[in-house]
Amino acid sequence: MTKNNQPDDSRYDSLVQPIDSIGRFTECSQEELLQSESEVMGGTIFKRVGRGAYRRGTKILKVEDLSLIAGKTTPVQSTNVSGDFRSLLTMPCMGGYRRIINGEYIEVSSGDVHLDFNNFGTKTRTYSSFVIVAVDENRLDRHMRAMTNKKGMEGFQKSMIWKDNDSSEIRGRAGMMWSLIRFIDQLHKENKYLPTALGLSEQFYRALTISILKSTGAIEKA
């Protein structure tokens, strides 16, 4: 048994932490997980996949009102069963997941970035470590309006994925978001107030807005 009274699992233990500066992940039961992540995840329930023991460790890093959940998990199925969902940016560091909603499958792999404005449906995760960012749609809309002088997010695609193994341009968008997360992590390690003092939550929304505009071909018009 581990120090956390959990069964040994070498695959789980070998998963890297995508954010180092927050320290060792806290492992918890499903009830504790729901309570600690409800601010970001909404009404999500988790179901173990396979016969092994279920283990999941998480920590939350705050940059002003920007919440970053860093975590790792054994195979698990998560389903949002309420209307209390948040728009999420999910970034697997190792492993990945398959999302299904209304018969539509989306495969998200290591290094990808998945922007999902509708967190309904079911996700089946492999052994994986990840960063999940709660996206404030109103704040994103304000940045979109500032850059386009038009209708903000109205009419834009409601789910986008930037894959690490795609063309160099799309891979660059995924890389830009990962670089920003790692920069926040690096500064937070130096001083936990630095990311907030430097306004990196605003920078996050600018980078996300640029990625959306490039994906829709609207960047040239802007």
**Across 20-34, average pLDDT:** 71
Helix 168-190 and helix 200-216, axial crossing angle in degrees, nearest 10: 180
Q: Is residue 4 part of a domain?
A: no
Q: Is residue 1 part of a domain?
A: no
Q: Is residue 2 part of a domain?
A: no
Distance of CA 110 to the CA centre of its chain: 12
pLDDT at 17: 87
- Residues 108, 94: Cα–Cα separation, whole Å: 11
pLDDT at 7: 63
Range of the domain at 178: 10-216
166 in Cβ contact with 3 (< 8 Å): no
Kindly tell me if the per-residue pLDDT of 92 is higher than 90. Answer: yes
Write down the residue that tokens 């990945």 correspond to. 96
Q: Is residue 47 part of a domain?
A: yes
- Residues 13, 57: Cα–Cα separation, whole Å: 10
pLDDT in tens, 138-190: 888 888 888 877 666 665 656 788 887 766 665 667 788 899 999 999 999 99
pLDDT band for position 2 (cuts 50, 70, 90): very low
Q: Is residue 146 part of a domain?
A: yes
182 in Cβ contact with 133 (< 8 Å): no
Q: Is residue 222 part of a domain?
A: no
Of 35, 30, 39, whose CA–CA distance to 133 is shortest?
39
Predicted structure pTM score: 0.81
pLDDT at 193: 93
Phi, psi (deg, nearest 5) at residue 21:
-70, -15
Look at the chain and report how many structural domains it folds into: 1
Q: Is residue 221 part of a domain?
A: no
More confident residue, 215 or 30: 215
Q: Is residue 5 part of a domain?
A: no
Q: Give, in degrees to the nearest 5, the angle at Cα 191 between 186 and 193.
A: 105
User: Edge-to-edge strands of the sheet including 159-162?
Assistant: 26-27, 56-63, 66-73, 128-135, 87-94, 113-116, 159-162
- Residues 191, 195: Cα–Cα separation, whole Å: 8
pLDDT in tens, 38-74: 555 555 666 777 777 778 888 889 998 898 989 898 8
Q: Which CATH number belongs to the domain containing residue 49 in this structure? A: 2.60.120.10
